[in-house]
Amino acid sequence: MSLPPRDPKPPLTYRDAGVDIDSQDEGLRRIRDLLRSTRTPGVLADLGAFGGLFAPDLRGIAEPVLVASCDGVGTKLAVARAAGIHDTVGRDLVNHCVNDILVQGARPLFFLDYVAMGRLDPEVFASLVEGIAAGCRAAGCALLGGETAEMPGFYGPGEYELAGFIVGMVDRKRILDGSRLRIGDVLLGLPSTGLHTNGYSLARKILFERCGFTAHSRVEELKATVAELLLAEHRSYLTALQGPRDADLVEGLAHITGGGLTDNLPRILPPGTAARIVRGSWSVPPLFSYLERMGGVPEAEMYRTFNMGIGMVVAVRPQRVAELEASLDRAGEKHARIGSIEAGDRTVVYA
């Protein structure tokens, strides 16, 4: 005896599964001009190619070395989503990556982005890429391409992920890897513009859970909203440091990101040395003191979680400090002498 045929089911499409190719096409249409606005002479392909093509200018470089890095924005994205402000995190992403290769002496060549959403919102997507393109233009870096992924069931409504990949170049003889550091070198700190892109899990726990704020709450003591405080741009140090780097004033650079001064300075210290940091030698922004007090965060934890107002550390020979400071002054870059290199076991010593 044969079974009766099953009732026919309606046909399924990719859109029924949560992926709307038409929305992706609309998003790509919106960003086409943004990508073109970042074109540099080395770009050889337009948006839509399977891979980006780039021909670097090697004039004046005896032994070119490519320097690559990738990063994300972390849980700062949660603040952006809560505030409904999406273009700033794109600039954060580019600037973070630019700084990460700058500390090895490299100039950026091109950038690739990765955007993943539960359901692609063309307006939000375009806003994210608008910020990325702005960061690339400021760095003279081509936005060469990227990947857009719609992932229903993996990311919830309104959620998205943002990551970036950068490639730069440096002449091998000018690579900065910490090996040039010597005992007695002076450390200058360049100011951050806030938390940059690190420590947000702790900051959000303090401000949203312990203090009960929302992204739009105004913190009277700090004269700003939570969104204004937490979405302050992760700044780039490329422009300020181009002159000193070209003049061979810089012996080493450390980008102060996750791990703070405590964990990032040892990454460039040669064996037998330590970094001596003098607390109080720079002005710590009020936001950090507020987080420390409201969260009851131990001081050591603050220096290992947050940048504490220092986004980049520059090492310089003591006899060239004045020359470096003059160069930074001409670039309009604030700075403070925050410590020195001494004998030790590749750690940070706070005084």
CA torsion angle 305 69 28 125 (round to 10): 0
Closest Cα to residue 261, out of 326, 169, 203, 339?
339
Tell me the sheet residues that pair with 71.
Answer: 164
Q: What is the DSSP letter of 4?
A: P
**Over its length of 351 residues, how does the chain's per-residue pLDDT go in tens digits?**
566 666 567 775 666 666 666 666 666 676 777 878 889 899 888 777 788 899 999 998 999 999 999 999 999 999 999 999 999 999 999 999 999 999 999 999 999 999 999 888 888 999 999 999 999 999 999 999 889 888 888 988 889 999 999 999 999 999 999 999 999 999 999 999 999 999 999 999 999 999 999 999 999 999 999 999 999 999 999 999 999 999 999 999 999 999 999 999 999 999 999 999 999 999 999 999 999 999 999 999 999 999 999 999 999 999 999 999 999 999 999 999 999 999 999 999 999
> What residues make up the domain containing 306?
186-350
Give the phi and the psi of residue 317 in degrees, each rounded to 5: -65, 140
- CATH number of 328's domain: 3.90.650.10
> Does one domain contain both 158 and 215?
no
Contact 299, 343 (CB under 8 A): no
Mark whether 166 and 199 lie in a shared domain. Answer: no
Are 86 and 25 found together in one domain?
A: yes
Last residue of a domain, one of 174, 206, 222: 174
Which stretches does DSSP call E strand in the chain? Answer: 64-72, 107-117, 142-150, 160-171, 186-191, 218-219, 224-225, 252-255, 273-277, 310-316, 336-343, 348-350
**Structural domain count, the chain:** 2
Contacts of 62 (CB under 8 A, 6+ apart): 171, 172, 173
Q: Report the alpha-carbon distance of residue 269 to residue 180 in Å, rounded.
A: 9
Torsion angle of alpha carbons 186, 189, 190, 195, nearest 10°? Answer: 160
pTM for the predicted model, two decimal places = 0.91
The structure tokens 């952006």 sit at: 80
Supply 233's token pair: 């741009």
Q: Which residues of 199-216 are buried (b: 16+ CB within 10 A; e: fewer)?
A: bbebbbebbbeeeebebe
193 and 149 share one domain: no
Q: Which residues pair with 312 in a beta bridge?
A: 190, 255
| Pair 233, 273: CB distance under 8 Å | no
Q: Do 323 and 291 fall within a single domain?
A: yes
Strands 160-171 and 142-150: unpaired
- Which residues lie closer than 8 Å to 237 by C-beta, 6 or more apart? 99, 102, 190, 255, 311, 312
Residues 233 and 316 in one domain: yes
Residue 7 located in a structural domain: no
Query: What CATH number should be reported for the domain holding residue 27?
Result: 3.30.1330.10
Q: Is residue 68 within 8 Å of residue 101, measured between CB atoms?
A: yes
SS3 310: strand
